[in-house]
Amino acid sequence: MSETIFTPLPYLPSMLGFANRFRGRLSTSCQCFLALMLMVSTHACAESQSPRIVNIVNFIRLLEPRSEAITEQVLFQTVVKQVELMKQHQLPGTFLLQYDALKDERYQKLLKGLPREQFEIGCWWELPQPLVEKAGLRWRGRYPWDWHSNVGFASGYTPEERERLVDVYMADFHDIYGYYPKSAASWFIDAHTLKYMHDKYGVIASANCKDQVGTDGYTLWGGYWNQAYYPSTRNAYMPSQTTAGQIPVPIFRMLGSDPLRQYDTGVGHTHQGVISLEPVYGDSGGDPQWVDWYLQNFVDGECLAFNYVQAGQENSFTWPAMQRGLEYQFPKIAKLRDEHQVRVETLAESGEWFRREFPVTPSTSVTFQTPLKDDDRQTIWFNSRFYRANLAWQSGRLWFRDLHLFDQSLESPILTQKVDRPEVEFYTLPIVDGFHWSSRDVLPGLRFVTSDGEIVGGEPKVTHTPEGFLQVTWPLQAQPGAFVLTFSDQQLRIELTDATLDWHLELTVADQTHLPFKQASEHVVSAVYHDHAYQLQTLEGEPSFSDGQLRLTPNSQTITLQFTPSE
């Protein structure tokens, strides 16, 4: 009882539940003390206008066909060790079960014995042989679990077959646990399946993979970077612009991607490596110095609405590979929790909070300005339901490394059709693509230039405006004045203040043959990507496009971009 009363701030929902269940059994003085603790905790929560939210999500597979050494017992013991470590530090978290693990009695006994106020049990939506065959479908995999997108994921099945697969999983989950899961996640879940899970079974939170190119055969590129968003009913990777066009299930981005290095890793190649909070990677999530750097920026960096990261690890990597990283990360996260600098929640709790707070996808930002080792680079990500933008800064130069437009009318290639190949790709609409338009020697960007070359300035300052917009102030180096960049839901305004300069924005790329731009007229750049037409509009400033070169020239020292999806 005393442990529950003195539970740290992130357990506030559990404390409320405890109070309601046991109010009649507590003494009057104990009830008063508990009420006081709840008032203090509630006040602390209210003070955080932009909470930092951590989800510990561990998903569970029964078997690992890629290695004979990774037996079912090795995978099970990995989960046992994860549970022990989370209990040791009183960290809440979410365990997501692949179907074959759901049916295994060892996992049932272990997970049923966990306290419901600390641990959530949910669905990991990869499709192994027992689930497919129980749904009356033919198994086409190489192994009982096959990670290819045309076999082990819903993308390999028709919409009607996806519903049958969901029905089987949910029925068996309910038979075992007595309720339906509130969270369902995967490397990717299509819009049809996610909407069906919500409408019929009440799923309220989901998660998908970080942005990546070609990793394990899956490409997700250009989406709402990290954080969480409401997906379009036509495309689970695409944020919706309207309530009518969205699935009311927030999708949280997984794995704690390095906001600087992950983006550029593998330039000049067709696939990327992984630089993330995952503890099995020795140069990132398994490196204490990297973890300290990540968490410091996560807590201290300027953010809008909230900041988010998913910690934890799939059991396929096994305990020996993740032990060192998790044993360093979890005490750090618990300490930040105890200091009220982060909220540690289950995925479902974060989903419930998101749905209460935001009727549509909010504008968010991720700011990393504290250097790692001798690397002075900084980066700022901005997301809204209309676009995403990424600024990079190094050695006095600031440029747009990425700019993608969101359009809920863009239908996913797997919405109604199944794929017949091992790979699958998800994308949005590029204006600047610092990875795909690059080479090993040239990193693309929309850069601030004059006739004398690229502009050099001081260190950018990142703040938010009273209206809730993100603002970046970049002082000039050679003279007074500064560029002020203001990011709002549908606009990006770039103004040179207290100075007069003959400047413009110029897109540099390694290869112009893949650019989507077709023509530029007054205030409009027309583009086509994957047969989908879209536009970049300027309210202030003039675009031009010739010989593969995109240029934006200011009017009265100002460029304002308007991001409006097609009707």
Residue with tokens 């309910």: 174
CA neighbor of 409 nearest in space, from 261, 559, 239 = 239
Q: What is the pLDDT of residues 341-372, one digit of tens each?
A: 999 999 999 999 999 999 999 999 999 999 99
CA neighbor of 348 nearest in space, from 103, 85, 125, 56 = 56
How many CA atoms within 13 Å lie on the side-chain side of 533?
Answer: 7
Contact call for residues 225 and 383 (beta carbons, < 8 A): yes
What is the chain's Cα-based Rg?
24
Pairing of strands 235-239, 231-232: antiparallel
pLDDT of residue 16: 34
**Mean of pLDDT over the chain:** 90
Distance between CA atoms of residues 487 and 501, nearest Å: 22
**In the predicted model, what is the mean pLDDT of residues 270-296?**
96
Q: What is the pLDDT of residues 9-50, one digit of tens each?
A: 333 333 333 333 333 444 444 444 444 443 333 333 333 579
554, amino acid identity: P
Query: What stretches of 155-296 adopt beta strand conformation (E)?
Result: 183-185, 205-208, 212-215, 218-221, 228-229, 231-232, 235-239, 251-253
Domain ranges of the chain: 2-45, 49-361, 366-562
Distance between CA atoms of residues 553 and 542, nearest Å: 5
Distance between CA atoms of residues 127 and 546, nearest Å: 48
Task: Determine the length of the chain.
Answer: 567
Tally Cβ neighbours within 10 Å of residue 464. 18
Paired tokens of 263: 């983006």
Residue with tokens 């992984």: 274
394, amino acid identity: Q
Distance between CA atoms of residues 270 and 289, nearest Å: 29
pLDDT of residue 1: 29
C-alpha torsion 552→553→555→558, nearest 10: 60
Angle, CA 66 vertex, CA 62 and CA 71 arms, to 5°? 45
Contact call for residues 393 and 401 (beta carbons, < 8 A): no
Paired tokens of 253: 């981005």
The three-class DSSP label of residue 355 is helix
Contact call for residues 326 and 318 (beta carbons, < 8 A): no
Tally Cβ neighbours within 10 Å of residue 480. 9
Distance between CA atoms of residues 439 and 508, nearest Å: 12
Contact call for residues 564 and 408 (beta carbons, < 8 A): no
Contact call for residues 55 and 345 (beta carbons, < 8 A): yes
Distance between CA atoms of residues 311 and 91, nearest Å: 11
Residue with tokens 């609405």: 305
Pairing of strands 504-508, 445-450: antiparallel
Q: What is the pLDDT of residues 387-411, one digit of tens each?
A: 999 999 999 999 999 999 999 999 9
pLDDT of residue 548: 67
pLDDT of residue 346: 98
In CATH terms, the superfamily for domain 49-361 is Uncharacterised protein PF12979, DUF3863 (3.20.20.510)
Distance between CA atoms of residues 67 and 80, nearest Å: 20
Paired tokens of 84: 């022990």
Angle, CA 401 vertex, CA 475 and CA 511 arms, to 5°? 130
Angle, CA 218 vertex, CA 212 and CA 224 arms, to 5°? 45
Distance between CA atoms of residues 186 and 201, nearest Å: 17
CA neighbor of 293 nearest in space, from 255, 254, 330, 329 = 329
Q: What is the pTM of this model?
A: 0.90
Q: What is the pLDDT of residues 48-82, one digit of tens each?
A: 579 999 999 999 999 999 999 999 999 999 999 99
CA neighbor of 293 nearest in space, from 334, 258, 253 = 258
Q: What is the pLDDT of residues 532-560, one digit of tens each?
A: 999 999 999 999 987 767 999 999 999 99
Distance between CA atoms of residues 469 and 490, nearest Å: 11
Q: What is the pLDDT of residues 147-199, one digit of tens each?
A: 999 999 999 999 999 999 999 999 999 999 999 999 999 999 999 999 999 99
CA neighbor of 243 nearest in space, from 412, 489, 408 = 408
pLDDT of residue 567: 60
CA 439 centroid distance within chain: 26
Q: CA of 278: how far to CAs of 5, 16, 275, 322, in Å?
A: 32, 32, 8, 8
Distance between CA atoms of residues 521 and 472, nearest Å: 29
